[in-house]
Amino acid sequence: MKSFIHAIESFSIWIGRSFGWCILILTLSVAYEVFVRYVLNAPTVWAFDMMVQMYGALFLMAGPYALAQDTHVRADVIYRFLQPCWQGRLDLLLYIIFFFPGMLALFWFGWEIASDSWRYKEVSWNSPARIQIYFFKTLIPMAGALFIIQGIAECMRCYLAIKNNAWLPRLEDAQETENILKG
């Protein structure tokens, strides 16, 4: 079970790292647009749409990565005082009641949105560039599916925490700077 959980985690980390490159593309495109708009007085017609899509892709695909790294925001005023077995019970209950219905809705309705977009070969109406956006809309159900897969791994983690009263260590990737400085 541990190897299965870590395999799913590795996949989520790989996806997160891959889409992390959107930050670089987004930064370079914003810098380029600012330069050509204000220095050369020649704004582009494509930059706005491209920036929105890069940010959206990053936002959607970084979610499963954040879940795999346990970096989502948690209101843990009482939670942190519980034993791991009770934390696992609470997490499992919340995954079943809230997480999976939400992610199934994201996948289901995202699939409908993406398939309609592909059927119509949808283009952006926000700018004169009229770029194709059906590729981008495909990321919506993909994110839902990746969240569901990572959520299954999280539920398996909860089961192990309930059984062993200890959390399975996570695969480490990036760390917060203050944690690196403390260590």
- Total structural domains within the chain: 1
Is residue 150 in some structural domain? yes
Average pLDDT, whole number, for the chain? 91
Per-residue pLDDT band for 175 (boundaries 50, 70, 90) equals low
Q: Percentage of the chain surpassing pLDDT 90?
A: 67
pLDDT tens-digit readout, 37-91 = 999 999 988 888 888 888 999 999 999 999 999 888 878 888 999 999 999 999 9
Most confident of 17-21, 25-29, 56-60, 146-150: 146-150
For 45, phi and psi rounded to 5 degrees?
-95, -15
User: Using CA of residue 65, residue 67, residue 71, residue 72, what is the dihedral sign?
Assistant: positive
**Residue 107 located in a structural domain:** yes
**Residue 49: its pLDDT value, please?**
83
Domain that holds residue 101: 2-67+75-171
Task: Give the lowest-confidence range in 9-23, 132-146, 166-180.
Answer: 166-180
Distances in Å between the alpha carbon of 150 and those of 4, 106, 120, 145? 11, 14, 31, 9
CB 58 within 8 A of CB 23: yes
**pLDDT tier for residue 180 given thresholds of 50, 70 and 90:** low
Q: What is the DSSP string of 141-173?
A: HHHHHHHHHHHHHHHHHHHHHHHHSSPPPPPP-
Stretch among 34-43, 70-79, 94-103, 161-170 having the lowest mean pLDDT: 70-79
Structural domain includes residue 84: yes
In a domain, 181, yes or no: no
Whether 12 has a pLDDT exceeding 80, the answer reads yes
Residue 142: its pLDDT value, please? 97
**Does 179 reside within a domain?**
no
Q: Is residue 180 part of a domain?
A: no
pLDDT for position 173: 75
Residue 176 lies in a domain: no
pLDDT at 182 over 80: no
Q: Looking at residues 142-163, what average pLDDT do you find?
A: 97
In a domain, 126, yes or no: yes
